[in-house]
Amino acid sequence: MNEATDPYCLSPGESAQLLAGHLWQRFVVLGDSVAEGLCEPVDGYSDLQWADRIAAELRAVHPGLAYLNLGVSGLRARDVLASQLEPAVAFSPDLALVVGGGNDAFPATYDADRVDRELTTMITTLQDAGADVMTLGMFDVSYSPAVVEWLRPGLRQRMRTLSDRTAALAAKLGTIHVSLTDHPLSTDPGLYSSDGRHGNARSDAVAAAETLRVLARHLASVR
């Protein structure tokens, strides 16, 4: 199997149909390694990272699209808020992707209420600045074969909590929410990189496909 034949990836020409007529001109990405893009290569799949894939497909429809990715590996939500929100707003985006909380949820000290507050601040500030905001429920990395067995139950519970609470924030605040946690491939060990913390190139291809389909549903709802 490769990206062209993978049933969970985009078919040829599908992205152009999904994004036809979109009017976004300035796309900014805030977050951690998921935003920055640290996936391992997989034979048959493009090495283009998830957020870069989204930008490329948006730009294919709207060639003048400006794109800024502020993502930095290892950041917790509070770090993203402190270091990226100001430059993101200064970019004057009309579309923003906010990814945060994954690094908070890895340790048992995860403070869900604090992460909610930090995500809320980023989302509402970007919305007030005129951007449509996307949020993410991540693939459940507790299924990675690199995660030691005794860590799985606690990590799985925390990742589920993060996903559920981010989805609740999205519903409350009106974001464009992409939920990958319950994707059929989320439990597939072959979706994850050898470091036990990230996805691989197939993961990014599947995530991009889901993201574009969610964007398409949003576009249809506002026309």
pLDDT in tens, the chain (223 residues): 999 999 999 998 999 999 999 999 999 999 999 999 888 899 999 999 999 999 999 999 999 999 999 999 999 999 999 999 999 999 999 999 999 999 999 999 999 999 999 999 999 999 999 999 999 999 998 998 888 999 999 999 999 999 999 999 999 999 999 999 999 999 998 898 887 678 899 999 999 999 999 999 999 998 7
Domain boundaries, the chain: 14-222
Residue 174, C-beta contacts closer than 8 angstroms, at least 6 positions apart: 127
CATH topology for 14-222? Rossmann fold (3.40.50)
Per the structure block, which two tokens stand in for 155?
């990590």
Contact criterion met (CB below 8 Å) for 111 and 104: yes
pTM here?
0.95
Residues 6 or more apart whose Cβ sits within 8 Å of residue 197: 33, 106, 141, 144, 146
Per DSSP, helices labelled H in the chain are: 14-18, 33-36, 50-61, 77-90, 102-105, 112-128, 152-173, 201-222
Cβ(198)–Cβ(40) below 8 Å: yes
Residue type at 119 in one-letter notation: L
